[in-house]
Structure 1
Amino acid sequence: MPETPIPADEAERLREMDDLQVLNPALEPELQAIATLAARICGVPIALVNLVGGERQYFKGRAGIALSGVDRDSGFCPYTVFERELLEVTDALTDPRFQEDPLVAGEPHVRYYVGVPMLSSRGHALGTVCLFDHRPRRLTPEQHQVLRVLAANATMLLELRGHARESERVTRSLREVQELKAQFLRTINHELRTPMTSIRSYLHLLEEDEGLDERTRDRFLQVVERNTTHLMDLLDELLLLASLNAGTAAFTPARADLADIARRAVDAVSREAEDREHSLRLHAPAGAQVRVDAERLEHALRHVLGNAIKFTPPGGSIDVAVSRDPVPTLEIRDTGIAVGMEDLEHVFEDFYRASNAEEQAIAGLGIGLAITSKIVRWHGGAARMENEEHGGIHVTLTLPVPAPRTAQDAP
């Protein structure tokens, strides 16, 4: 049997059908009606609305046959798609292209075929509206024209259905964006208003009560300074996120030891972990060489550790491990609160706060893990989070193996 021809626009043709989400065996009622109408108008026993995929053909509408599809290399329709014109085979047993085809040699013993390509608005032949008979025959020019009209209508229905699905997706995405915006505004309002209210209250006390002793005034000023620092940190994080999204963040990569970076990050959060009575352990053999912006990567790791500290109940444990085989990797395991499965795929998105954070009113803007993921991805690595089997969270930050040292490398 001759080899099935492949259209020159095959990749784009298949991509369009993927966009339309039509390559599946489900019957479409409207296309089923077109197949039934074609069979009755032309007086043939079998009619199909057939989409030709990369490996299979999908019968989206059918009359007179129970099959849901066949292999790509079987039948007549791939030739119609390839030629992009009406194809009529009056007697398949006399055509060398189809004499040995399973549909001709076996059930349903096809002798006659006519197919019209379904040409999309992008100019690709997605499939056919086609007819089969068990005996040789020929249709009239009027019947050919009917098939062309039906094929055009079948294509239009497919495209309208695909556009409707895309519109639903866009609408859903816009709704999610609006919900995220509302959540962000609620969160940022709380995160900014709380320290601002505290600062204003203490400043009023300092201004209005001249009888405060020096020790009390110092304590009030410390509260003001602490809240001011918190506000500045929040603004710095928001600016960093914006610059990472815009691709304008400054990076200065150089060779470094991943163990040293991990040790500095752990030291930076150790006091916070102690206050929460956490056991914070570092397992970091030296020699895991990476080419990174050490300050940025340390910042990313501190966000993961800060998250672990916030979501791990007092008395829990947090373990940080550095490995170098097969690639440089940072692993952070804690005994904290598991993340819902519906949240896991979103935790690295901008401003996303998992449901457990909302339910337990745990402070945060939902940008720490987003910053972590963007910094790691800028280095050519990847960030992943998963729930531990027996409770807790496992975060993995992988980095690419550095190229051999050159004379231009920073020390």
Structure 2
Amino acid sequence: MISALIPDNESARLAALDEYNILDTPVEQTYDQLTELVSSICGTPIVLISFIDEKRQWFKSHYGLEVEETPRDIAFCAHAIHQEEVFEIPDSRKDKRFHDNPLVTGSAQVIFYAGAPLVTPDGLRLGTLCAIDNKPSQLTDIQKQQLTIIAQQVVAHLELRKVEGIKESLVRKSLSLTNTLAAKNKELEQFVFAVSHDLKSPLVTINGFTSTLAKELIGQTTEKQQHRFSRILKNVKNMADLLTNLLELSRVMKGEITKVPHDVTSLIEKSWQRLLTKNRVLNVEFILSKPLHSILTHQPLFSQCVDNLLNNAIKYRSSERNLQLKIHTEESDTAVSLFINDNGTGIGKKDHKRIFHVFEQIVEGEGTGIGLTIVKAVMDKHTGLVELVSEVDQGCRFELRFPKV
């Protein structure tokens, strides 16, 4: 008996075999059907799908044979993986390499053998699809061709299996990362909420004492000192506004919502009246195109969203013309869109995405940079969209698209 040599590319071959994760896997009908088909084509009672690892040949499918593996040093397939085409032994008893092989002299009685190598797309031979008989035989050219084609189908199934394995691994990693990210986001939200809440109290104290001190010393301070008091109070107010907005953003992001149909006309009118109370000297044309379509929404978040957009329209109105606000709705098969149009200073196209990020400001030093982040967070909660159409000095058109389900 002559054992097969170890291939020169053995390390790469074993690594490829390991990547397919096929060894010692359970019986699969897909592979058993292929070996049964080969038995019919080649007229042999035994057909094997054999993989050669470091010390053995292991059978993924073993039609007509109960053995699941044999040592590598006696394996016919260990010789076959050195061949590019079908490796055929018409009568092993007359071949000096096999005549005294235990697989020939023992109960298996491997007399005829024909093995087509299982070749990966990288040209590595992992094992064979082999046909075996207990008597001398020989395949026709057509049978050899068909054996080779089916061997290629075995490799195709291996490739598909590997792709599915990679896909499952990526899905698991994605789910793990998603869960980790969700947990980190929750921790961050809790941190922002706690810090924002804890800082509001001392800010109220600072604002109160500074205001009182400024009034008590009004007759003893210079104009420059009074300006400094004013700057302190302004910055305290900005900080308080920022913390308030951060708290609002935190509540929006971590809260669960229940959506019900709302006649949003009255909600928008109430939002506008609240803003007018704070801006009594405002000269504005407010156009509400009635009737507005009913929207499936969470009322508190909807009002918060509208408040932010109307407040921005007031804050960034043009000094060249009186403010004009137009609001209407449009309905499609899947959603209802609320449009809020103004004729203010507008936003350049390069800033359209940036303004929805936290702390991004339309005008440097104006606002907290959180209002539009809240709007986007509200729409995300509704599984909806917010879109902007705007040019510098051409006003803004915000579309809030609410799904119907």
TM-score of the two chains, using structure 1 as the length reference? 0.50
Query: Letter of the aligned partner of 2:123 in structure 1?
Result: G
Q: How does 1:125-204 map to 2 (within 5 A)?
A: 125-204=125-204
Q: Paired residue for 2:46?
A: 46
Shift of 1:127: 1.1
Question: Structure 1 CA distance, aligned partners of 2:200 and 2:55?
Answer: 69
CA contact under 8 A between 1:6 and 1:82: conserved in structure 2? no
CA contact 1:20–1:163 (8 Å) conserved in 2: no
Structure showing greater radius of gyration is 2
* Structure 1 residue 75 displacement after superposition: 2.1
Is the contact made by 1:25 and 1:68 (CA closer than 8 Å) also made in structure 2? no
Pair 193,101 (structure 1): closer, same or farther in 2 beyond 3 Å: same
Check conservation: 1:36, 1:62, Cα contact below 8 A. Answer: no
1:273-323 deviations in whole A, cap 9, x for unaligned?
xxxxxxxxxxxxxxxxxxxxxxxxxxxxxxxxxxxxxxxxxxxxxxxxxxx
Q: How far apart, in 1, do the equivalents of 2:83 and 2:107 lie?
A: 26
For the 8 Å contact 1:25–1:59, the answer to whether it is kept is: no
Residue in structure 1 matched with residue 4 of structure 2 by the alignment: 4
1:27 alignment partner, SS class: coil
Amino acid of the residue matched to residue 27 of structure 1? V
Query: Offset at 1:144?
Result: 0.4
Q: Provide the rounded CA distance (Å) in 1 between the counterparts of 2:25 and 2:187.
A: 46
CA contact (8 A) 1:33 1:61 kept: no
SS for the counterpart of 1:2 is coil
1: CA distance, partners of 2:98 / 2:139: 19
Letter paired with 1:146: Q
Distance in 1 separating the partners of 2:66 and 2:211: 94
Taking the TM superposition and a 5 Å limit, the aligned residue runs for 1:5-404 are 5-209=5-209
On the 8 A contact 1:25/1:58 being kept in 2, the answer is no
3-state SS of the aligned residue for 1:31? helix
- Determine the structure 2 residue equivalent to 1:278: none
Q: Measure, in 2, the Cα distance between the counterparts of 1:208 and 1:127.
A: 83
Alpha-carbon distance in 2 for matches of 1:212, 1:72: 93
CA contact (8 A) 1:80 1:87 kept: yes
Question: How many percent of aligned residue pairs carry the same amino acid?
Answer: 29
Question: How far 1:211 moved relative to its partner?
Answer: 10
Q: Distance in 2 between matches of 1:200 and 1:12?
A: 64
**CA shift for structure 1 position 101:** 1.4
Aligned partners of 2:189 and 2:12: how far apart in 1?
Answer: 47
CA contact (8 A) 1:75 1:98 kept: no
Alignment match, 1:243:
none
1:154-183 deviation line (CA, Å, top 9, x unaligned): 110011011101111111111211121111
Deviation at 1:85, TM superposition (A): 2.5
- 1:210 Cα offset (Å): 6.1
Q: Is the 8 A contact 1:27 1:59 kept in 2?
A: no
State whether residues 90 and 137 of structure 1, in contact with CA within 8 Å, keep that contact through their aligned partners in structure 2.
Answer: yes
Runs of 5+ unmatched residues, structure 1: 214-411
The CA deviation at 1:212 is: 10
In the alignment, the residues of structure 1 paired with residue 93 and residue 212 of structure 2 have an alpha-carbon distance, to the nearest angstrom, of: 107
2:269: which partner in 1?
none
Report what 1:289 is aligned to. none
The secondary structure found in structure 1 opposite 2:110 is: coil
The alpha carbon displacement at 1:25 in A equals 4.9
- Aligned equivalents of 1:180 and 1:48: distance in 2? 46
Name whichever of 196-205 and 68-77 sits farther off: 196-205
Query: Residue 270 of structure 2 aligns with which residue?
Result: none
- What amino acid does structure 1 have at the position aligned with 2:144? H
Deviation at 1:27, TM superposition (A): 2.0
Computed over aligned residues only, the root mean square deviation of the Cα atoms, in angstroms, reads 1.9
Alignment gaps of 5+ in structure 2? 214-405
Contact 2:81-2:125 at 8 Å conserved across structures: yes
SS at match of 2:74: coil
**C-alpha contact 2:48 2:130 (8 A) present in aligned 1:** yes
Instruction: Assess if the C-alpha contact under 8 Å between 2:57 and 2:75 holds in 1.
Output: no
CA distance in 2 between counterparts of 1:25 and 1:183 reads 36
- 1:60 corresponds to which letter in structure 2? K
State the distance in 2 between where 1:124 and 1:153 align: 15
| Aligned AA (1:131) | A
Sort the Cα spacing of 1:14 and 1:212 in 2 relative to 1 into closer, same or farther, 3 A: farther
> Residue 378 of structure 1 corresponds to which residue in structure 2?
none
Contact 2:49 2:59 (8 Å CA) reproduced = yes
Contact 1:32 1:62 in 2 (8 A): yes
Tell me, what secondary structure is at the counterpart of 1:122?
coil
Q: Distance in 1 between matches of 2:81 and 2:104?
A: 19
Residue by residue, what CA displacement relative to the aligned partner does 1:308-365 show, whole Å, maximum 9, x if unpaired?
A: xxxxxxxxxxxxxxxxxxxxxxxxxxxxxxxxxxxxxxxxxxxxxxxxxxxxxxxxxx
After TM superposition, give the deviation of residue 53 of structure 1 in Å: 1.2
Q: TM-score, normalised by structure 2?
A: 0.50
Cα distance in structure 2, aligned partners of 1:123 and 1:15: 13
Letter in 1 for 2:22: V
